[in-house]
Chain A
Amino acid sequence: MTEQVLTVENLAAAYRKNTVLHDIHFTVNAGSLTGIVGPNGAGKSTLIKTILGLHPALSGKVSFFQSTYEKAKRKIGYVPQRGSVDWDFPTTALDVVTMGLYGQIGWFKWPSRFHKAKAYESLEKMGMADYANRQISQLSGGQQQRVFLARALVQNAEIYFMDEPLAGVDAATERAIMAILKELKAAGKTVMVVHHDLQTVRDYFDHVLLLNRTVIQYGKTDHVFTKENIARTYGGNMRWMGVENQDGLPSIQQ
Chain B
Amino acid sequence: MEMFFYGFMQRAFQASFLISLIAPILGLFLVLRRQSLMADTLSHVSLAGVALGLLIGINPTWTNILVVIIIAILLEFLRQIYRTYSEISIAILMSVGMAVALVLMEIGAGRTTLSVTQFLFGSIVTINKEQIWMLLGLTIIIGLLYLIYQKPMYVLTFDEETAFTVGLPIKMMSILFNVLTGVTIAVIMPIVGALLVSAIIILPAAISLRLSKSFYGVILNGMVIALVGMLSGLVASYELGTPPGASITIILMLIFAVITLAKYMLHYLKFDRLFNKSQG
Contact = CB atoms under 8 A, between A and B. Distances in A.
B161 A84 contact: yes
Interface residues of A, number: 25
B214 A90 contact: yes
Given A90-B213, A92-B214, A99-B154, A53 B159 contact: no
A76 B213 CA distance: 30
Nearest to A105: B151
A107 B170 CA distance: 14
Interface string B142-170: 00000010011011011101101111100
Interface in A79-122: 80, 84-86, 89-92, 95-96, 99, 102-103, 107-108
Contacts of A95: 214-215
Contacts of B167: 70, 73
B250 interface: no
Contact of B212 (A49, A76, A84, A90): A90
A90 B155 contact: no
B56 interface: no
B12 interface: no
B151 A89 contact: no
A96 B157 CA distance: 12
Contact of A86 (B148, B158, B164, B215): B158
Interface string B86-103: 000000000000000000
A76 B161 CA distance: 13
Nearest to B147: A108
B214 to A, nearest CB: 6
A91 B215 contact: yes
A91 B152 contact: no
Contacts of A54: 161, 164-165
B267 to A, nearest CB: 14
A135 interface: yes
Interface string A172-201: 000000000000000000000000000000
Contacts of B157: 89
Contacts of A78: 161-162, 165
Contacts of A53: 164-165
B161 A90 contact: no
B contact patch SS: helix
Contacts of A70: 167
B32 interface: yes
Contacts of A92: 213-214
B218 interface: yes
B217 interface: yes
Nearest to A106: B151
A219 to B, nearest CB: 27
Interface in A204-249: none
A90 B165 contact: no
A30 interface: no
A86 B32 contact: yes
A96 B158 contact: yes
Most chain A beta-carbon neighbours within 10 Å: one of B148, B151, B212, B217: B151
A52 interface: yes
B159 A135 contact: no
A208 to B, nearest CB: 24
Interface string B189-201: 0000000000000
Given A73-B167, A92-B214, A102 B161 contact: no
Given A78-B161, A80-B159, A103 B209 contact: no
B245 to A, nearest CB: 27
Contacts of B215: 90-91, 95
Given A53-B164, A86-B32, A108-B148, A91 B214 contact: yes
A108 B151 contact: yes
A54 to B, nearest CB: 6
A67 to B, nearest CB: 15
Given A73-B167, A90-B217, A135-B213, A80 B158 contact: no
A141 to B, nearest CB: 17
A73 B209 CA distance: 34
A73 B165 CA distance: 7
Contacts of A134: 213
Nearest to B159: A85
Contact of B32 (A84, A89, A107): A89
A85 B158 contact: yes
Contacts of B151: 102, 107-108
15 contacts: A52-B165, A54-B164, A54-B165, A73-B166, A76-B165, A78-B161, A86-B32, A90-B28, A90-B217, A91-B158, A92-B214, A96-B158, A102-B155, A102-B166, A135-B214
The 4 closest A-B pairs by CB, nearest first: A135-B213, A85-B159, A78-B165, A90-B218
Given A90-B213, A91-B154, 9 more contacts: A52-B165, A73-B166, A78-B165, A80-B159, A80-B161, A85-B158, A92-B214, A102-B151, A134-B213
